[in-house]
Amino acid sequence: MIHPIPPGTRDILPDEMRELRRLHLSLMEAFEAHGYGEVSTPTIELDDVLARGDGRSTGSAYRFFDERGELLSLRSDMTIPIARLIANRYANAEPPIRLCYISNLFRAVRPQRGQMREFVQAGVELIGAPAPQGTAEVIEVLAAALDAAGLDRAVIGLGDSDLFRQLLSELGVEGEARDSVLERLATHDLVGLEWVLGELDGVSPEGCRTLVALSQMRGGREVIEQAREIGGGAVERATTRLRETFDALEARGAAGRIQIDLGLLRDLGYYSGAILEVYDPALGHVLGGGGRYDELISRFGVDLPAAGFALYLERVHVALLEEERRRASENAGEGR
């Protein structure tokens, strides 16, 4: 007789668990080597507290009442619980504070390979270290984590989450129209983007072309200069931030995996400045992401700049398997 489990959850058996545990250990070793201490927070939090971190409160799909009638949430990311933890436990500590975690999280996604409703994220949070050095440190740790995991082909996309928000303000696009443009930029719906821009009053064709062109600019360091030539205050500020971060990374010898991507936009409400995404050529899905969230912790009453990243552990595992298969077939090809 089969006793069902909820969709999007699963049992993990020894063969897989052994590999996941190994991955766990190598990532944790990389985090610790950079001075990040592991923390654990409750799987359930008070819903009000999580909502404070993300005003749209879209995070948690699983909410329920406890015996006192308090509304509880299963956490859907670790950044907000850690922001709360900082306010509770480190408000008077000497920054920077370096924390890391490997935790189970919950989201109501469509279950598929590497994407379950209960999943594990491994990540770090660097609190109290501003851009560009703080951002560069986080990216350095991320690169080290990818090395430790064995994903030597993985790429880190680096963009700027303020670019389009500020650019749209400059173009006089506000409110609902702005959200509608940002949503299409985030999903890279270029057909919809051109349509929405066409419907807007008062945005010059040149402004529209700038938006569309910027969203497609990605590549090496040269992209920063190419974008800068487009001009305008928002572009100037974003490219300056990107250049400073890139310079700091080069000084650390950690720029090797970077792809500058001006079209990068993540939909989480708390990012400001640099944003990150991680890709591996062997996997069609994003391996993880992160960025700066300089405003987030102040929502909990402690004004500290912060940055971090999180990797989806199961997706890293899938990518590793694909990379192993690829290497095996390449070696077999060479042997012939």
44 to 83: interface string for other proteins, x by CB under 8 A: ----------------------------------------
- Measured CA to CA in angstroms, residue 94 lies from 97, 256, 304, 333 at distances of 7, 32, 11, 55
- The residue (of 237 and 285) whose beta carbon lies closer to other proteins is 285
CA distance 209 to 190: 11
- The residue (of 49 and 212) whose beta carbon lies closer to other proteins is 212
Among 100-108, 109-117, 163-171, 239-247, which window interacts with other proteins (CB under 8 A)? Answer: 109-117
Choosing from 3, 68, 110, 336, the residue that interacts with other proteins (CB under 8 A) is 110
Identify any residues that bridge with 37 across adjacent strands, giving them in sequence order: 99
Helix (H) or strand (E) holding 120: strand 118-127
Q: How far is the CB of 129 from other proteins (least distance, A)?
A: 27
CA distance 201 to 204: 8
Task: Tell me the two tokens of residue 311.
Answer: 């990797």
What's the alpha-carbon Rg for the chain, to the nearest Å?
21
Residue 53 makes CB contacts below 8 A (sequence gap 6+) with 79, 80, 83, 84, 270, 296, 299, 300
Q: How far is the CB of 52 from other proteins (least distance, A)?
A: 28
Choosing from 54, 160, 277, 314, the residue that interacts with other proteins (CB under 8 A) is 277
- The residue (of 100 and 156) whose beta carbon lies closer to other proteins is 156
Among 12-20, 50-58, 63-71, 189-197, which window interacts with other proteins (CB under 8 A)? Answer: 189-197
Residue 15: CB atoms within 10 Å = 8
Choosing from 62, 166, 223, 240, the residue that interacts with other proteins (CB under 8 A) is 223
Handedness of CA 260, 262, 267, 269 (dihedral sign): positive
117 binds other proteins (CB under 8 A): no
Among 1-9, 70-78, 278-286, 291-299, which window interacts with other proteins (CB under 8 A)? Answer: 278-286
Task: Tell me the two tokens of residue 233.
Answer: 């205050």
Interface residues with other proteins (CB under 8 A) are 110, 112-113, 153, 155, 157, 187-192, 212-213, 216-220, 222-223, 226, 257, 259, 261, 277, 279-286, 326
